[in-house]
Amino acid sequence: MSHSDITVGVLVGNPRPASRTATVALEVGRQVADAVGGRVGPVVDLAMHGGDVLDPDSATVQRDMELVSGVDTLVVASPTYKATYTGLLKSFFDRFGSVSLDGVVAVPVMVGGAPHHAMAGEVHLRPLLVELGAVVPTRSLYVVDSELDHLTDTVSTWLSREGASLTNAPRTAHCAGVNERGTPGDAAAPSTSKEQSCPICPAPPDGHSVRSLRSWPNSPTTPCSATSGNVVN
Ligand SMILES: Cc1cc2nc3c(=O)[nH]c(=O)nc-3n(C[C@H](O)[C@H](O)[C@H](O)COP(=O)(O)O)c2cc1C
């Protein structure tokens, strides 16, 4: 996989469409993609679903669950509501199994009106992403509304501190956890489009398949099963 195949997905958890949070999320996605040599996409704005995130039969929500769990890096952005992320974002993620983001490098981003809620990304959003299996190598980015008129600089200042953590993130695709995805109760069954054989591991363990291969800059060339940044329960 060439670096240009690295996908940087963007998930926006704001019930309001065309939000400032979406603007911030896309700017972070653009700069992160530049930093890792990847490309932005898919972009999922939960405002498009509204209450359908609670509908287990919604095919469009199901499709977006599969999209966001299939990327290499996922920017997850939420406005700050009552000092935490939105109920909409939580409702969306409540549908995921506990390893649905296994192998995904997640970047927590929150936007808020109050500087004193700046830890919300670290205290609330990070644990949610880790619970879903994501690796979260950077500090969260918190953007205050008043910083939006110099958003490009705000994001690039954050990325200048955190970019190394991102580009040095362990290659998290591995054989061991893959069979956990798509098990009963795990609504976010993986797409098979990224499945391929692993050039490092001679063969996946019995009953396992290799979900995807990541070629991050500086990634270790040890067998997949040894490179996970996650604990697979
Ligand atoms: C219901 C609601 C609750 C909010 N609670 C907080 C809060 O606790 N802390 C804060 O910093 N901002 C809070 N805000 C402000 C938003 O997080 C902030 O304006 C953010 O930029 C949302 O902008 P957007 O909807 O255009 O993305 C709240 C806004 C709303 C609508």
Which pLDDT tens digit goes with each residue over 173-185? Answer: 433 333 333 333 3
Measured in residues, the chain has a length of: 233
| For residue 27, pLDDT beyond 80 | yes
Mean pLDDT, residues 113-139 taken together? 97
Domain limits, the chain: 3-167
In Å, what is the CA distance from 79 to each residue of 13, 55, 66, 196, 212?
Answer: 7, 23, 23, 37, 31
- Concatenated DSSP letters for 133-155? T-B--SPPEEEEGGGGGGHHHHH
User: In CATH, which superfamily holds the domain spanning 3-167?
Assistant: Flavodoxin domain (3.40.50.360)
Q: State the Rg of the chain over Cα.
A: 17
> Does residue 16 line the site of ligand 1, with CB under 6 A?
yes
> Does residue 147 line the site of ligand 1, with CB under 6 A?
no
Alpha-carbon torsion (79, 23, 173, 222), positive or negative: negative
DSSP structure class, residue 191: P
pLDDT digits (tens, 9 = 90+) for 37-95: 999 999 999 999 999 999 999 999 999 999 999 999 999 999 999 999 999 999 999 99
| pLDDT band (50, 70, 90) for residue 218 | very low
Q: CA nearest 64: which of 89, 35, 29, 38? A: 89
- Distance, in Å, from the CA atom of 98 to the CA atom of 130, rounded to the nearest integer, reads 9
| For residue 228, pLDDT beyond 60 | no
Q: Which residues, at least 6 apart from 148, have a Cβ–Cβ distance to it below 8 Å?
A: 20, 23, 24
Q: pTM to 2 decimals?
A: 0.79
Q: CA nearest 96: which of 106, 109, 82? A: 106
Nearest ligand 1 atom to the CA of 21 is 27
pLDDT digits (tens, 9 = 90+) for 143-163: 999 999 999 999 999 999 999
Choose which residue among 80, 85, 149 to substitute to test ligand 1 binding: the one with the highest number of ligand atoms within 8 A of its C-beta: 80
Determine the pLDDT at residue 233: 30
| For residue 208, pLDDT beyond 90 | no
